[in-house]
Amino acid sequence: MWLVAGLGNPGDEYSDTRHNIGFAVIDALADRYSISLKQKTSSYKFGRGFIEDKKAVLIKPLTFMNRSGIAVRDALFKNDEIENLIIIHDDLDLEPGVVRIKEKGSSGGHNGIQSIIDFLNSKDFIRIKIGIGRSQRMYPEKYVLRPFNKKEKPLIKEAVEAAADAVQEILARGVSSAQNKFH
């Protein structure tokens, strides 16, 4: 079974912000594969279903970005059949709309990823990174909580679909195939 977690912050005030692009991908996957995300624990919302004939659990942490590791750890412990983990998150160092897949590694300065590494005591999980760009005039902590501008919105819409396609490709044919297709 696969666990696919999209990172973001809970609450309506964050719903259309750059930091919540992981949530947008989970919503796209849920729509595409008719997976209801109505189930809830104290640390995440989730739904179970099939993606490319593989069992999958989709989650959206309720713990806020910097404590994402709590939700991911809890989801892994509550679903003991999980063998594979994919984390979908924003990336300041990629141009808006760029999608990259990484098999393992450091957090790259992303606090949500660092929290997951810390709580799992491992860097060995798949990441799908979606570029949100970086502001030269604003601190990153404020920039990630801002919505996309009009010019970026079409790029982000395409990136969300591409990231959902990347999850599908990983489950169907593996990480290498997805990297070849999306890089």
Q: What is the pLDDT of residues 101-151, one digit of tens each?
A: 999 999 999 999 999 999 999 999 999 999 999 998 999 999 999 999 999
| Local structure of 19: helix, strand or coil | helix
d(CA 120, CA 141): 24
38: phi then psi, degrees, rounded to nearest 5: -90, -10
Q: Is residue 19 flagged as an active site residue?
A: yes
pLDDT band at 163 (very low <50, low <70, confident <90, very high): very high
The mean pLDDT of 42-51, rounded to a whole number, is 97
User: What is the separation of C-alpha 162 from the centre of its chain, rounded to a whole number of angstroms?
Assistant: 12
Q: What residues form DSSP beta bridges with 48?
A: 57
Query: Which of 6-10, 81-85, 178-182 is predicted with the least confidence, judged by mean pLDDT?
Result: 81-85
- Active-site residue (options: 19, 89, 110, 183): 19
Q: What is the pLDDT of residues 36-45, one digit of tens each?
A: 999 999 999 9
Which of 36, 42, 22, 12 has the alpha carbon at shortest distance from 129?
A: 22
Q: What is the pLDDT of residues 60-85, one digit of tens each?
A: 999 999 999 999 999 999 987 788 99
Domains and CATH numbers, the chain: 2-182 (3.40.50.1470)
CB 3 within 8 A of CB 57: yes
